[in-house]
Structure 1
Amino acid sequence: MSNQRSGRLSTGGGTVREYLGEMGPSWVAGAIAAGPATMASLIAAGASFNYTLLWVVVLSAAAGAVAQFLAMRLGLLTERGIVGVVEAHLGEVWAVILVVDVVVVAGAAQFVIMNTAASVSASLTGVDPRIWGLIWGVVLAAGLAGRGYRFIELLSKALVTLVVLAFVASLWVVPVDYGAAATGLVPSLPTGSGLVAAGILGGAVHITLITMQSYTMRARDWTFRDYNLATLDIGISMLAAFGVYSVAVFLVAASVLSDPELTAIGAAETLGPLVGDSAGTLFLLGLGAAAVSTLGGNTAVPPFLVADKLGWGTSVSDTRYRLLLAGFALGSVAGAFIGGEVISQLVLVLALGTLGTPFAIAIVLYLLNSDAVSEPSSTLANVGGLSLLVVSGTLAVNFLREQIGSGIDVLSGAVLAFALVLGVATVILGINYVREEVLV
């Protein structure tokens, strides 16, 4: 089945419907990328700097596609989960660091995303957000533990499609000055725009997206013979769907919003009086779909890596993995009881992801240029990967500099310690690579 599938794709046979039906792993990554944290960054960028940062929005989709391509290549060449590959070729300590990195980042994100999903659901229905948290937790646990990966993929495809359609539809009722928007394609960074730009890029190039790719492809039984299909999957989900989503949200915010402190939900409520209730409703529906789609994909990430490290199966056919998945889904209900303004929480979560991402990129680049794979990366792929490493590392350093400048408390101190551990690990990994792969 797998060979026939990729063979048709390679020779130009088959139908578009067949290819779309076979796609899926990168749609799960796209569902996480098109989440409320990314939306918050896009709204802040448009509301604060009008169309100036459109080039960053476009660049983020391309950067996200490059990151997924590298992760895809590693997964297909090894045909194993990333944790197993790291443990086999780098050692157990590196595998443990990677698992802890992902669990901390994705676990923190899970609570905040649940809070966002519950808040949006409450805004749409008037029902208490805590009740919505319980509902979403049960839906996730039943769907994921009952159907496993297929439930995640179907949910991601449906909701990402809804998100894209909702925001594209918003463009029809929001007065966008496309001539002025075109000027935003010329790279420039106005004063004070650095952190906002970092947030936009950080949402597309994220540790959870990089590490989950090998597991979602394994769930589809993809091998290296499915290389073309996997590449097309990334192109349509990250470059096209995620790219359109990002541009649409940014253009809506840049066209009619002018408050840089506006929240995501507040943006939807503000659009009504400005350009009509239909725009506000569409925006809120898009936000809700983005939160739920991100929640579904993110729920699966820590169980994938933990199960792999423990030597368990990473499908619901293994009861231990199923219980782990259900437990993580139900545990996320606590996020709906956090309360408070979700935007500031999302910023912290995105920052944690930014701190954890350089290490994951370094791991992937190391393995792609070692004896872990039969075909080392091309120069172009390595240049792209190193560029991502530099960008993500710069974003992490900028965030830490801001944290240190504003003073160290218990929470920021914990974040700083987390960053230092990963920073040292990344440097040591680089030294090991030079010593073992370059100087031999």
Structure 2
Amino acid sequence: MSTVVADSARVAGQRARAATSLLGPAFVAAIAYVDPGNVASNLSAGAQFGYLLVWVIVMANVMAGLVQFLSAKLGLVTGLSLPEAVREKSSRRIRLAYWGQAETVAMATDLAEVVGGAIALHLLFGLPLLVGGLITGVVSMALLLVQDRRGQRPFERVITGLLAIIAIGFLAGVVISPPSFGGTVGGLLPRFQGTESVVLAAAMIGATVMPHAVYLHSALARDRHGHPEAGPLRSRLLRVTKVDVGLAMILAGAVNLAMLLMAANTLRGREVETIEDAHAAVGDALGPVAALLLAIGLLASGLASTSVGAYAGAMIMQGLLRKRIPLLMRRLITLIPAMAILAAGIDPTRALIVSQVVLSFGIPFALIPLVCFTSDRSLMGADTNHRVTTTLAWLVAAIITMLNVALIYLTITGS
């Protein structure tokens, strides 16, 4: 009897290890959900409006989970990344226009990530922002070389390790000083409070449901798992992908929520206009250890997310235009706008928030084709979206689009 139990336990352990070894692509994509743009948007939201926008974090994370699974499914089932699928279904003129907006989104992404890394190095070591931006760009290039020369799995391990550091850095604040339970629950009721809360909500969604992560995940899943024929293997990989996405989104959502709750709990009512102000206020309220962990988390966020963003930019160009350029050139293309912002002396925190609004406007260009492709039976076969899934996906796209329309209207009218 004991032998049978031991054998069963061993088999179960082997199966668990085999399933665990398939996890990883979603955690690379999840870096996009805890980048410096998230830090700026979430800290600003908590400091200005307390617990008001908790519901935005929860809603954005749920939407992101659905979107990321559909992206991974597209890659597994069709063997195409989302940009490649767009290329196959569109004319040359449309491809070029689509690439132009995607490249703009990639630059906005890199702006947030490089500026965030520069701010973190300034907080930790007092480096000038321009020098910090250069260092962030160089280190991200080194991380990209890991992926280019050693393959996807070592890159996944490095990025997942940085994700763990990010989680520790930002969860520490709510552990040291737990937020109000009543305030948190009250923040789940969807509502706004003036134009600025809408701007921040759009920035938070733009920082969570990020276009480049949607494009990238389809390629990550395909490159990691291949393109299996319809059957038991594909079904198993799709089940594992659901777990991968679920775990990654739970971790990313917890980190984002922790940022907002920490700001609502410790920064509300204080003069907090920049990340540097938030860092100083956290140090005053929670002590130097919490402030140090916040800065380390921000640095890990900037380094990891900028390398993932540059990787996504290269994949988008290759998928849409069938053109590859050297990694160094790719790194420089998206680095230039961020360095220009730092050199011009523009408020980096405001630049971060504006970049997230730009990203929010790029989301429909990623979501609409994704929903169309994964709902196309001629393309997806038996793995076509269920009607309920398709309805939910279109609802996600509609919510984000309507929020952006409301943002434009409120900004113009000043309401």
Which TM-score band (shorter chain)?
0.7 to 0.9
5+ residue gaps, structure 1: 1-10, 314-319, 407-440
2:84 counterpart letter in structure 1: G
Q: Structure 1 residues 261 and 383 mapped into 2: Cα distance closer, same or farther (>3 Å)?
A: farther
Q: Name the counterpart of 1:409.
A: none
The aligned runs of 1:8-23 (5 Å cut-off) are 14=14, 16-23=16-23
Give the TM-score taking structure 2 as reference length: 0.85
Q: Name the counterpart of 1:218.
A: 222
CA deviation map 1:357-398 (0-9, x unaligned): 112211111222222222321112111211111111112213
Between 1:148-157 and 1:251-260, the stretch displaced more is 148-157
Matched, 1:106 2:135: no
5+ residue gaps, structure 2: 1-10, 229-233
Q: Name the counterpart of 1:234.
A: 245
Match of 1:286 among 287, 297, 304: 297
Q: Structure 1 residues 186 and 14 mapped into 2: Cα distance closer, same or farther (>3 Å)?
A: farther
Q: Structure 1 residues 330 and 203 mapped into 2: Cα distance closer, same or farther (>3 Å)?
A: closer
Q: Name the counterpart of 1:157.
A: 160
Tell me, in whole angstroms, the C-alpha distance in 1 between the residues paired with 2:52 and 2:144: 41
1:283 counterpart letter in structure 2: L
Match of 1:377 among 381, 385, 398: 385
Q: Name the counterpart of 1:168.
A: 171
Tell me, in whole angstroms, the C-alpha distance in 1 between the residues paired with 2:202 and 2:142: 36
Match of 2:396 among 381, 388, 395: 388
Between 1:142-151 and 1:253-262, the stretch displaced more is 142-151
CA deviation map 1:111-170 (0-9, x unaligned): 342122112112101233333333332222233135324464233211211111222222
Tell me, in whole angstroms, the C-alpha distance in 2 between the residues paired with 1:209 and 1:326: 17
Contact 1:176 1:255 in 2 (8 A): yes
Name the SS of the counterpart of 1:220 in structure 2.
helix
The aligned runs of 1:271-310 (5 Å cut-off) are 271-310=282-321
Q: Structure 1 residues 132 and 20 mapped into 2: Cα distance closer, same or farther (>3 Å)?
A: farther
Q: Name the counterpart of 2:261.
A: 251
Tell me, in whole angstroms, the C-alpha distance in 2 between the residues paired with 1:308 and 1:188: 39
CA deviation map 1:406-440 (0-9, x unaligned): 7xxxxxxxxxxxxxxxxxxxxxxxxxxxxxxxxxx
Q: Structure 1 residues 147 and 346 mapped into 2: Cα distance closer, same or farther (>3 Å)?
A: same
The aligned runs of 1:6-85 (5 Å cut-off) are 14=14, 16-85=16-85
Name the SS of the counterpart of 1:372 in structure 2.
helix
Q: Name the counterpart of 2:6.
A: none
Tell me, in whole angstroms, the C-alpha distance in 1 between the residues paired with 2:27 and 2:202: 23
User: How far does residue 45 in structure 1 lie from its aligned partner after superposition?
Assistant: 2.0
Contact 2:75 2:81 in 1 (8 A): yes
User: How far does residue 322 in structure 1 lie from its aligned partner after superposition?
Assistant: 4.2
Say how many residue pairs are matched.
389
Between 1:69-78 and 1:321-330, the stretch displaced more is 321-330
Q: Name the counterpart of 2:373.
A: 367
Give the TM-score taking structure 1 as reference length: 0.80
Q: Structure 1 residues 81 and 181 mapped into 2: Cα distance closer, same or farther (>3 Å)?
A: closer
CA deviation map 1:264-299 (0-9, x unaligned): 232111111122222222222222222222212111
Matched, 1:144 2:144: yes
Tell me, in whole angstroms, the C-alpha distance in 2 between the residues paired with 1:202 and 1:130: 25
Tell me, in whole angstroms, the C-alpha distance in 2 between the residues paired with 1:23 and 1:332: 34
Q: Tell me the C-alpha RMSD between the 2 structures.
A: 2.6
Match of 2:183 among 176, 180, 184: 180
